[in-house]
Amino acid sequence: MVLRRSIYKSLAQLRAMIEPGLITARALAAVRELVAPGVTTLELDAEASRVITSAGAKSNFQMVRGYRHTICTSVNEQVVHGIPGARVLGAGDILSVDAGAEYQGWNGDSAFTVVLPDPSRPEVVAEREELSRVTEGSLWAGIAALASARHLNEVGAAIQDYVDAQGEYGILADYVGHGIGRKMHESPSVFNYRVTDPGPEVRPGLVLAIEPMVVAGDPATLVEDDDWTVSTVDGSAGSHWEHSVAVHDGGIWVLTAPDGGAAGLAAFGIEPQPIG
């Protein structure tokens, strides 16, 4: 017999997911502080590891089979799943960092993108910053949609509508968000685009990692020889933003944002509500 865990969590379980979300947020904030030309992606990995470990938590990325690092670092044409290493960050690079913490058996998962300054290539920097802004905006559009959605796949429709309204961008189709809880990756899948199936009902207890992956060109990707890194075929730049979000009796709360998502959701007229 296969025991299937409900995708809806109890209030006590939602409460248990607050701390791993905040630890994940702190790890990413610490990494963000370190990002500068001349820094290696492995140094960023060490910083995330330090923050997560000192909080009494574990890196849930290290529990993914075959993966040995705390974060993923994806640079320029790499969109997701880049492996930290000796690569030195350079001026004008666009970097996406993805991390997650497991604390007392519960998980957080979040990602951000940043563009390093480059005074010699202002137009490249501006294009990449716009790509990141569009991707982050689509994440908040998806989270905002969750607040009033009846069915999960309204989230992906909102993400796609947001991206399509911004110009010529591509949304990765083969990589999607997911439920999160006892495991980092749980059912259901969270699409970043419109699908015909409405998906499961949105109701209290649903916790999702919403994570649009958007590129400046064609969305076709390949996996590099390291068997992890996902890069665009046409070499165009990629961006990845992610938050873990809980639906509860009082509304929604972004677990991996210290303000619960208040700043990001303000533009959509939605006020996140703390988990009671």
CB of 125 or CB of 191, closer to Mg ion: 191
Could you check whether the bond before residue 188 is cis, i.e. omega within 30 degrees of 0? Answer: yes
C-alpha Rg value of the chain to the nearest Å: 18
User: Of 100 and 251, which has the nearer Cβ to Mg ion?
Assistant: 100
For residue 178, the minimal CB distance to Mg ion (Å) is 6
Complex with Mg ion: residue 77 or 242, whichever CB lies closer: 242
Neighbours of 230 (CB within 10 A): 22
Closest separation between CB of residue 24 and Mg ion, Å?
A: 9
Q: Quick one: the chain helix, strand, coil %, rounded to 5?
A: 30, 25, 45
Query: 114 phi and psi, to 5 degrees?
Result: -140, 150
Q: Going by C-beta distance under 8 Å and a sequence separation of 6 or more, which residues neighbour residue 171?
A: 159, 160, 163, 192, 193, 212, 213, 214, 215, 219
Residue whose CB is less far from Mg ion, 15 or 183 = 183
Of the pair 125, 139, the CB lying nearest Mg ion is at 139
CA angle 133, 136, 140 (to 5 degrees): 130
Q: How far is the CB of 35 from Mg ion (least distance, A)?
A: 17
Distant-in-sequence, close-in-space partners of 16: CB < 8 Å, separation ≥ 6: 104, 105, 106
Q: Residues interacting with Mg ion, by CB under 5 A?
A: 98, 109, 111, 209, 211, 242
Residue 64 DSSP code: S
Q: How far is the CB of 36 from Mg ion (least distance, A)?
A: 23
> Would you say 111 or 206 has its CB closer to Mg ion?
111
| Shortest distance, position 110 Cβ to Mg ion, whole Å | 6
Cβ at position 267, least distance to Mg ion in Å: 23
- Give the Å distances, CA to CA, from 164 to 69, 76, 169, 220, 276: 34, 21, 7, 17, 36
In the complex, minimum distance from the CB of residue 120 to Mg ion, in angstroms, rounded to a whole number? 32
Smaller CB distance to Mg ion: residue 137 or 179? 179
Angstrom distance (rounded) from CA 151 to CA 119: 46
Q: How many CB atoms lie within 10 A of CB 229?
A: 21
